[in-house]
């Protein structure tokens, strides 16, 4: 058995359009036009993206609450699963599957239930639950320790920060080249997949 842990945005889901749309709409309600969203998805928490845009600290919780409402109610408009992801996850069901993402827990659960019904994720670590995660390596290290052998733990992600977090946790790095990341960022990895089905070749 292997431990196969996934990032969400850009790896399991094509969700950047929903994130950008809702964060812009929610910020606009408070008089802000924001930028630098897409390049920071999965890199920074949304609160930190708002801080990058110089938004008043007192307004950040209000904007985030509105963002969550927008995302929960409208993600179906422009979020889709990555091609082949559901079928591959079903093929990997004998392994221990997990999620490590900066997304909010409630939204993550809604998306997993909607797009991956019947898939059992043994681990779900989000930016706000079960603890306030500031670095994905924190959760990956816990999973690696639980496994008893970091050599059988794989993190699948699309950003340089995902691969760096996996390295800090001492687990195998699988870079999803079809996601939001780019080699221009200086990404290093143990394995590379150009589509989701290539995961099966690596893990078997």
Would you state the pLDDT for residue 185? 87
| CB 86, CB 116: distance < 8 Å | yes
pTM above 0.85, yes or no: yes
DSSP state of 41: B
The domains located in the chain, with CATH, are 3-14+80-203 (3.40.50.1000), 16-77 (1.10.150)
Would you state the pLDDT for residue 104? 95
Would you state the pLDDT for residue 183? 87
| CB 189, CB 164: distance < 8 Å | no
* Dist. CA 13–CA 29, nearest whole Å: 27
Residue with tokens 């977090």, as numbered in its chain: 165
| Structure-derived torsion over alpha carbons of residues 189, 193, 197, 201, reported in degrees to the nearest 10 | -60
| CB 73, CB 97: distance < 8 Å | no
pLDDT tens string, the chain, 204 residues long: the values are 999 999 999 999 999 999 999 999 999 999 999 999 999 998 999 999 999 999 999 999 999 999 999 999 999 999 999 999 999 999 999 999 999 999 999 999 999 999 999 999 999 999 999 999 999 999 999 999 999 999 999 999 999 999 999 999 999 999 999 999 988 889 999 999 999 999 999 998
């Amino acid at each position: 058995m292997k431990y196969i842990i996934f990032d969400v945005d850009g790896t399991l889901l094509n969700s950047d359009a929903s994130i950008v749309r809702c964060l812009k709409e929610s910020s606009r309600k408070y008089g802000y036009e924001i930028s630098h969203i897409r390049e920071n998805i999965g890199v920074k928490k949304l609160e930190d993206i708002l801080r990058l845009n110089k938004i008043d600290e007192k307004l950040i919780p209000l904007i985030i609450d509105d963002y969550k409402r927008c995302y929960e109610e409208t993600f179906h408009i422009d979020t889709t699963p990555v091609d082949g992801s559901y079928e591959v996850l079903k093929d990997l069901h004998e392994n221990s599957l997990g999620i490590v993402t900066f997304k909010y827990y409630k939204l993550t659960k809604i998306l997993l239930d909607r797009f991956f019904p019947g898939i059992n994720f043994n681990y779900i670590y989000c930016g706000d639950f079960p603890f306030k995660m500031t670095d994905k390596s924190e959760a990956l290290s816990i999973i690696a320790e639980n496994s008893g052998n970091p050599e059988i733990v794989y993190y699948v992600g699309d950003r340089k920060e995902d691969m760096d977090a996996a390295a800090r946790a001492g687990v195998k790095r699988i870079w999803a080249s079809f996601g939001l990341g780019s080699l221009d960022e200086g990404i290093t990895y143990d394995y590379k997949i150009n589509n989701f089905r290539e995961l099966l070749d690596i893990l078997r």
